[in-house]
Amino acid sequence: LSAEYGIGDGETAFGGTSGAAPMVSGAAALVIQKFPGITPPEDKARLMNTAETNIGINPVGLPGVLAPISRIGGGEVRVDKAIATSTAAWDAKDLTGSLSFGYNALTGSKTFLKPVVVRNYGSSARTYTITPNFRYADDAASGAVSVKAPASITVPANGSKSFNVQ
């Protein structure tokens, strides 16, 4: 919400790119302020990895019906969580906090591979369980796409480790 123009004491909806750009820019700046040596991919990954993706089409009218990714993007930014997280993961090739294989018009089977970097900011080694999942149950049920990744990885203290998603 934003202050409503002209009255000074009301609120009005403020969204889209005009609302998102200053909000995300400010959130990114706050993460950089807290972690001055952070790289741009890490900053973006911290914001995307901790964003709220459980966004409904209409939380009042249709609770439980998830909004499409095309409507929510990476989710709603939660800068407090981005600063508090002790882990970040990103696509090592595209340098973004999400994996996308893009649109591919296929007439047969094809294998795609993406390298993922996991960064552990903690003071001790951590083992992460990797569980591929789908936003919508019917996407998994169709069987059109299968996802392969290691069951877990161990990342050293204040270190990084990579793995592939296929």
The percentage of residues in the chain with a pLDDT greater than 90, rounded to a whole number, is 57
pLDDT at residue number 138: 86
pTM: 0.83
Name the pLDDT band for 122 (thresholds 50, 70, 90): very high
pLDDT tens sequence across 74-100: 888 999 999 999 999 999 999 999 888
Q: Most distant CA pair in the chain: distance in Å?
A: 59
In the chain, the amino acid numbered 77 is V
pLDDT at residue number 74: 86
In the structure encoding, which two tokens stand for residue 78, read together? 């939660």
Considering only residues 1 and 101, tell me which one the structure prediction assigns the higher pLDDT: 101
The percentage of residues in the chain with a pLDDT greater than 70, rounded to a whole number, is 88
Burial 12-47, CB ≥16 within 10 A → b, else e: eeeeeeeeeeeebeebbebbeeeeeebeebbbbbbb
* Three-class SS of 105-137: CCCCCCCCCEEEEEEECCCCCEEEECCCCCCCH
Distances (CA, A) of 79 to 17, 20, 82, 113, 143: 18, 13, 5, 30, 36
Name the pLDDT band for 1 (thresholds 50, 70, 90): low
Q: If DSSP codes are grouped into helix, strand and coil, which group holds residue 70? A: helix
pLDDT at 153 over 90: yes
pLDDT tens sequence across 43-83: 999 999 999 988 888 766 556 788 888 888 888 899 999 99
In the chain, the amino acid numbered 112 is F
Name the pLDDT band for 134 (thresholds 50, 70, 90): confident
| Interhelix angle 40-49/16-34, nearest 10 degrees | 120
**Taking all residues of the chain, what is their mean pLDDT, rounded to a whole number?**
88
pLDDT at residue number 4: 55
| Of the ranges 8-12, 131-135, 161-165, the best mean pLDDT one | 161-165
